Amino acid sequence: MHINVAWSGRRGKCSLHCSEPILKYTKVVRGTGLSSAGYRYRLQWHFDCWVKQALEYLDEHKPEPRAGGPGRKELGLDADTRRQRHNLIVMAYRLKLRRTAAIESSQLWKLDELDKKLEGVKAELELVGGKPSHWV
């Protein structure tokens, strides 16, 4: 939503449904709303009403630092399993490269075997933490 501040040019109603009318030449916050049908409509609030609800919103939505910092969560595997998982992922990546190369050089009879191997690697991966989330 786009928000800006202005001096009210005429009387109006506050979009927060407070009882006070908006008087001419008072400070207002203006914005646009989007209806469920896709129409934009104009909104106008008393400056103080808007700031009050904004502060309430921010107090309700405190920032929480993520435990362990940014980035992907660790799977919590021991060193051997991690290495095994890494090797499997590398193996799968090489198979995918060979698959692409086979398609590019029109050696399509290789595809069956490569796909079978890839499925095998994926099945083994399921035993050591599952396949990476971005794989299809």
% helix, strand, coil for the chain, step of 5? 45, 20, 40
Q: 7 or 135, CB closer to Zn ion?
A: 7
Least Å from the CB of residue 63 to Zn ion: 28
* Nearest-approach distance from CB 57 to Zn ion, in angstroms: 16
**18 forms part of the interface with Zn ion (CB under 5 A):** yes
Under rule CB under 5 A, residue 28 binds Zn ion: no
Residue 131 phi, psi dihedral angles, 5° rounding: -75, 155
User: Which residues 52-81 are close enough to bind Zn ion by CB under 5 A?
Assistant: none
Of 12, 39, 41, 42, whose CA–CA distance to 27 is shortest?
Answer: 12
- Judged by CB under 5 A, the residue of 46, 92, 114, 121 near Zn ion is 46
**Residue nearest Zn ion (C-beta atom):** 14
Site string for Zn ion, 117-136 (x = CB under 5 A): --------------------
Whole-angstrom CA distances from 45 to 31, 58, 74, 76 are 9, 18, 46, 50
> Count H helices, E strands: the chain?
3, 5
Query: Contact with Zn ion (CB under 5 A): which of 29, 49, 88, 128?
Result: 49
3-class SS of residue 96:
helix
Size of the site for Zn ion (CB under 5 A): 4
Cα distances (angstroms) measured from residue 13 to each of 34, 42, 61: 18, 12, 28
* CB-nearer residue toward Zn ion: 6 or 75: 6
Residues in the site for Zn ion, rule: CB under 5 A? Answer: 14, 18, 46, 49
